[in-house]
């Protein structure tokens, strides 16, 4: 990985898939920052057709064979959080990290907190198949949102007065919220979270990542089928 900032003329390729919440973070940041890129669709294993062949550059540069992966010019990087940081170093226009060092520290802390507090229960809801496990994941997600709601008492955005990389990390929750509802997450969002969600849907980056109703239905149907299969085999 290089830290050159001479990227004016470098092309960018995004390796990802709409269903992957980690890839959504990167797709959102690219679109929000107005970076031009092309997309190489690499479906996660569970969603991949039997004849799909992984692109050789993906095999060579994504050590865990995971999406998202990004190419900037000749360089590649996998893993969503490092990619978000790398994009800030390599492409300096319209950054999503504040210039103030203390705010940057806060953005990074909140990115890590959202990753830890929200993603585990969120994924636990759709990969959960026992009602008790699903209920625990719903409760943990609600508790996380109550905590995050407090951040939004002080500012419109997760840190300060503009959207940042913290929004990029949070956005996959909002993208799949209808799907999570259909899979058992029935708690109301705290009001500041609901307002934040609405503000996020007005961002430029939202259009690049929002699901169509077909995608939402596919997501729900896949995980309902997954639950039926798991419950039939136990």
Ligand X SMILES: N[C@@H](CCC(=O)N[C@@H](CS)C(=O)NCC(=O)O)C(=O)O
In this structure, the number of other CB atoms found within 10 A of the CB of residue 126 comes to 24
Nearest to ligand X of 123, 152 (CB atom)? 123
User: Least Å distance between CB 45 and ligand X?
Assistant: 3
Kindly list the residues in this chain that would bind ligand X in the complex (CB under 6 A).
20, 22, 44-45, 65-68, 79-81
**Least CB distance to ligand X at residue 48 (A):** 7
Least gap, CB of 191 to ligand X (angstroms): 29
Measured from the CB atom, is 67 or 165 closer to ligand X? 67
Q: Look at residues 32, 49, 11 and name the one whose alpha carbon lies nearest to residue 93.
A: 32
CA 174 – CA 213 distance, rounded (Å): 14
Angle, helices 165-175 vs 191-200, to 10°: value is 100
Picking from 156, 158, 130, the residue whose alpha carbon sits closest to that of residue 144 is 158
Distance of closest approach, residue 176 Cβ to ligand X, in angstroms: 12
Question: 116 vs 194, which CB is nearer to ligand X?
Answer: 116
Q: Which is nearer to ligand X, 68 or 98 (CB)?
A: 68
Helix (H) or strand (E) holding 28: helix 21-32
């Amino acid at each position: 990985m290089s830290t050159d900032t001479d990227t004016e003329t470098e092309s960018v390729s995004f390796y990802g898939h709409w269903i992957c919440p980690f890839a959504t973070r990167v797709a959102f940041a690219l679109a929000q920052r107005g970076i031009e890129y092309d997309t190489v669709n690499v479906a996660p294993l569970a969603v991949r057709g039997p004849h799909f062949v992984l692109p050789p550059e993906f095999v060579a540069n994504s050590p865990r064979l995971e999406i998202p992966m990004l190419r900037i010019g000749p360089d590649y990087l996998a893993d969503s959080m490092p990619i978000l940081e790398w994009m800030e170093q390599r492409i300096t226009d319209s950054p999503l990290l504040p210039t103030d060092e203390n705010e940057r520290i806060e953005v990074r802390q909140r990115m890590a907190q959202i990753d830890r507090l929200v993603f585990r229960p969120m994924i636990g809801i759709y990969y959960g198949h026992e009602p008790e496990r699903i209920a625990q994941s719903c409760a943990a997600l609600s508790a996380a949102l109550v905590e995050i709601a407090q951040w939004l008492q002080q500012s419109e955005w997760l840190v300060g007065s503009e959207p940042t990389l913290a929004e990029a990390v949070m956005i996959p929750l909002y993208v799949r919220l209808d799907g999570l509802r259909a899979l058992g997450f029935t708690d109301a969002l705290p009001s500041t979270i609901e307002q934040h969600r609405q503000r996020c849907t007005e961002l430029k980056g939202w259009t690049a990542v929002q699901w169509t109703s077909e995608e939402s239905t596919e997501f729900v149907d896949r995980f309902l089928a997954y639950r039926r299969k798991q419950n039939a085999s136990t």
